[in-house]
Amino acid sequence: MASARFSMRERWARVSQRLRGEALIVLFARIASVGVGTVFVVLTARHLGPDGRGEVVVAFTIAWATTSVADLGTSISGRISLLDPDNDVRASDVVSLVAALLPFQFVLSSAVVAVLSATSLQLSLGFSIATVALSMATMMFNSATSFFFGLRRYRDVLVVEACLAGIQVIALIGLLVSSRLTPTSAVLTMAVGSACGSLWFVRGSGAIEQGLRSRGATRWRQLIIDGLSPMAGFIAAFIAFRFDRIVLAIVAGTHSLGIYAVALTVPGTLRILPSAVAQVVSDRGRSHVDTVAGLRRLTRIFVVVHTLVLAVAAVAGWFLLPEVFGEGFVESRDLLVVVTVAEAVLSIHLMHQALLVGFGRPKGIGVPQVAGAVVMVILDLVMIPRWGMQGAAWALLFGYSVLAFASTTWTNYELRRNRP
């Protein structure tokens, strides 16, 4: 028994050593980002109610959907290229390509907003403009943080996200105090903040000094080719993670979507943990700092720990949801257990995805995500019209289970077929 306890202590010591440094910096950056996101959710939920909160969720869903397509996967291919010491891609190549793709994002997000406005959602003109602005800012910020991770400038990401979080919280509180907090003003606040953060990243990357046009076009083709498979994965990920929100909003309205989204907030907030660990797992694998076996052990232990943390959060959330978000969200508790289990299952997929990226198999990301996305679309279209919010929650659990199984199977196949 004593030797077993000693072995466990040794294992935890090794895990702690692996996670310190870079992982903690990335984690703090995620905490800053998620912190302002949580404040944003609470403020909009309590002040705007389920209907208003549902409208805001629609805007963010559109932003992520269009970003998944418009950046052509270059946020991933750019980061991988910058991490590779043998690759001559520079920050200016990535920045110039993202700038060239922004008009595509504008057209795409405008088209999506126009189509959804023709449905039962009936988005107003002001809200539609704010949603398009958020979509462009989301693409900019997502790409900027990704290539800064590629430069391994984790501390800079932490500083920018922390400062940006504070400014956005102050702006939201100002809107609330002045009685100007609406779905449109809330979305615009987040859009402006993300755009400003993106511009700081560009300035701090040295891309302008390198020259955005001097050689960018010669590298774009390879970045786009390398990004196509991750793009398929991103599209599949959107379907798996957010397609249910669009279906629920159209079928049951923004009121039901608002209640469902708040239930997802409790386990979703803790996604910073697998996201931070996955970021470092992929970067350490790509930089040949750790072996496949070592990172596999790390990810397995992390999944167990993360599941326990989620269980504690679900119990606390059951009691705190109405107090924090308002009595209008009492129904969110009925969905909490199912969506929390789904989040635990999702962490398995995220860890295997990080292993694929880390050991040079980014093209393998799309295969399990496409499989999970196909199942998720079928489940959403069958279960949500019939059972509403409950149907969405159970479809989420079943879909994430398929995603985790497919991701585990495909990762094992890829890493055994071509051992790094």
CA 361 to chain centre: 20
As a whole number of angstroms, the distance between CA 94 and CA 122 comes to: 37
What's at 240, amino acid-wise? Answer: A
pLDDT of residue 15: 46
List the domain range (segments joined by +) for residue 141. 2-417
pTM here is: 0.80
Its sign, for the CA torsion 91, 97, 103, 105, is negative
pLDDT of residue 280: 75
pLDDT of residue 10: 57
Contacts 24+ apart (CB under 8 A), 79-85: 79/146, 79/147, 79/149, 79/150, 80/150, 80/226, 80/286, 80/357, 80/362, 81/150, 81/222, 81/223, 81/226, 82/147, 82/150, 82/151, 83/150, 83/152, 83/283, 83/286, 83/287, 84/286
pLDDT in tens, 52-90: 999 999 999 999 999 988 888 887 777 777 666 566 666
Provide the domain count of the chain: 1
Q: Which regions in the chain score pLDDT beneath 50?
A: 12, 15-16, 18-19, 214
Q: Print burial letters for 335-359: b (CB count within 10 Å at least 16), e (below 16).
A: bbbbbbbbbbbbbbbbbbbbbbbbb
pLDDT in tens, 83-112: 665 666 666 777 778 888 899 999 999 999
As a whole number of angstroms, the distance between CA 317 and CA 328 comes to: 15
